[in-house]
Structure 1
Amino acid sequence: MDRAQQLSEFLKTRRARLRPDDTGVGGFGGRRRVPGLRREELALLAGVSVDYYTRLEQGRARNVSPDIVDAVSRALRLDADERAHFHNLARPSRPRRRPARPQQVGPEMRQALQALDSVPAYLVGRRLDILAWNDLARALIADFPALPPAERNMARLVFLDESAKDLYPDWEGKARDTVSTLRVDAGRHPDDPQLAALVGELTLASEDFGRLWADHTVRGRTRGRKRFSHPRLGELALDYVAMRAPDDPDLTMMIYSAPPGSDAADGLRLLAGLAAPYPVPA
């Protein structure tokens, strides 16, 4: 994906959500043809020239300093995830010397995953590829072993598998989270051809994906609650944590659990009884 285009579209969408009344900038007058702040107003708030901000928003600025990124971030009122994404996009491009190696899951991580025998857990890598899972995750989310390896991807499951809308009662929320995570990946790895191909495939195949991708929402959630609708157990409201591997920032373990004594905890115990052991691929 083109880093300059990503940067341009990101800044435009962030600027469009601001209002002059919210920022105290209103001295440029005139009828507004588009929502949000004008470039002149944003440049004033950031303390940079209009010409420089214009070049930055058009993806034509070179060697953007971290101080400039921080100043524009403050003017745009970016949160921590958005600011990190902006820094990633503003970094100078470096030519890739060799293709990225496929991600590997070491035996220690697989062992830890299988030791979690009372809660659903899985490992997700770059591009939201599902790399490994335990029996409860297979019983709750999808029969991962039955899927071709190329289809073991959370974004494909959410947007291309119709059963996802039955699995997630708040499918729109799950879809937004999925796209925003892919946006984080796109900022970290803008030159990843497999990510570009995935985004292209989903854009063509899913109108919902195209709509959400155009929002440029960036969010790296590490905890929260997700509702599932299991065909045999009914609805389960589970808490999740996302734990990033210390030696691989692109590898995350997702773990779902429930408060002791809750209906969801009872549901997980029943789910464990339904989850027949299945060998995880080496």
Structure 2
Amino acid sequence: MRRMAARSELGAYLSARRAQVAPADVNLPATGYRRVPGLRREEVALLAGISADYYIRLEQGRERTPSAQVLDALASALRLGEDGRQHLYRLAGVGPRAMAAAVPDRVEPSLLALMDAWPHNPAIVYNRAYDVLASNAIADALFHGWTHSRNLMHVVFTDPAARTFYRDWHEVARNSVAGFRLGHSAAPEDPRVRQVLTGLLDSSPEFADLWSRHDARGKALELKRFAHREVGPLTLTMQTFDIRSAPGQELVVYHAEPASASNDALSLLGSLAAGPLIRRSAM
């Protein structure tokens, strides 16, 4: 039963990604009537160098043993990128999937000490479910003391204030769902990941719509624009690091450009953080 479900996920992923690639993106003519946006099944098969019948069987879940060579060809045809390719491998049962119990909730004391040594750089550690396991004082100040939730997915999709706090809310929402799906594919049986997923599918139509797109990619170097109610607008660079000693945990660190208005605002936030807010962590 589990294997059949995985194949259904594979077919859904292929279909969703096919819809996101325009013929012009892969140098194909956009001729004739198209029932759905994106590439036709036959066009994907042509680009991947496989038969149309074989590709149709993959989407329908009737073909269960695609080779690594076929998966690489499909990843290239669908322009998946490295994260999307890894996700495709996992859904096909070729890439390794982590055990649900592999993500510890305890953050290493040495990492907590390092985060505390960054009074001007908000830093958080979260797991595959996007639960914030640890945060330094300035991160607590940035996220208003986590009064709504210490789950980043809940913050984005269920906190009404998030739409003004994140000045590019729609982009943040898309990227958050894509990262969450990548973590879900690594450990689909993780009870906490499933709990967060089920809750958001039930409570947030916008999350459900983004989830149906099957985007899967990890976080990378990017800019985040915030509107903080106490220090005003900030534009911060966000960098994400896998924590090798705790697979499934990620460290996110923010910083501002030197001599910028955002750097001044971050300095002010640091002074606020030195006041009544205390860093909270899961130990």
Q: What is the TM-score normalised by the length of structure 1?
A: 0.88
Instruction: Determine the structure 1 residue equivalent to 2:127.
Output: 125
Instruction: Determine the structure 1 residue equivalent to 2:250.
Output: 252
SS at match of 1:48: coil
Give 1:218 shift. 2.0
Give 1:198 shift. 1.5
Q: Where in structure 1 are there 5+ consecutive unaligned residues? A: none
Matched to 1:173, the amino acid is: E
Give 1:221 shift. 2.6
Q: Distance in 1 between matches of 2:265 and 2:108?
A: 31
Contact 1:63 1:92 (8 Å CA) reproduced = no
SS at match of 2:235: strand
Matched to 2:17, the amino acid is: R
Instruction: Determine the structure 1 residue equivalent to 2:214.
Output: 216
Q: Distance in 2 between matches of 1:141 and 1:274?
A: 12
Give 1:216 shift. 1.4
Distance 1:190 1:241, change over 3 A: same
Instruction: Determine the structure 1 residue equivalent to 2:38.
Output: 36
Give 1:164 shift. 1.1
Give 1:71 shift. 0.9
Select the residue among 270, 273, 283 that pairs with 1:272. 270
Q: Where in structure 2 are there 5+ consecutive unaligned residues? A: none
Q: Distance in 2 between matches of 1:131 and 1:33?
A: 46
Contact 2:98 2:186 (8 Å CA) reproduced = no
Distance 1:52 1:261, change over 3 A: same
Instruction: Determine the structure 2 residue equivalent to 1:235.
Output: 233
Contact 1:3 1:190 (8 Å CA) reproduced = no
Instruction: Determine the structure 2 residue equivalent to 1:178.
Output: 176
Contact 2:178 2:217 (8 Å CA) reproduced = yes
Q: Distance in 1 between matches of 2:82 and 2:97?
A: 27
Q: Distance in 1 between matches of 2:267 and 2:66?
A: 53
Distance 1:197 1:59, change over 3 A: farther
Matched to 2:232, the amino acid is: G
Q: Distance in 2 between matches of 1:244 and 1:198?
A: 21
Q: Distance in 2 between matches of 1:203 and 1:25?
A: 36
Identical aligned residues as a percent:
37
- Coordinate RMSD, CA, aligned: 2.6
Over residues 80-100 of structure 1, what are the superposed CA-to-partner deviations in whole Å (9 max), with x where a residue is unaligned?
221121112112599998855
Give 1:233 shift. 0.9
Q: Distance in 1 between matches of 2:87 and 2:46?
A: 22
- Establish whether residue 6 from structure 1 lines up as the match of residue 9 from structure 2: yes
Equivalenced residue count is 277
Contact 1:62 1:92 (8 Å CA) reproduced = no
Matched to 1:278, the amino acid is: I
Over residues 145-203 of structure 1, what are the superposed CA-to-partner deviations in whole Å (9 max), with x where a residue is unaligned?
x56xxx42100111111111121111111111111111111221223233222112111
Over residues 194-242 of structure 1, what are the superposed CA-to-partner deviations in whole Å (9 max), with x where a residue is unaligned?
3222112111111111111111122223211111111111101111111
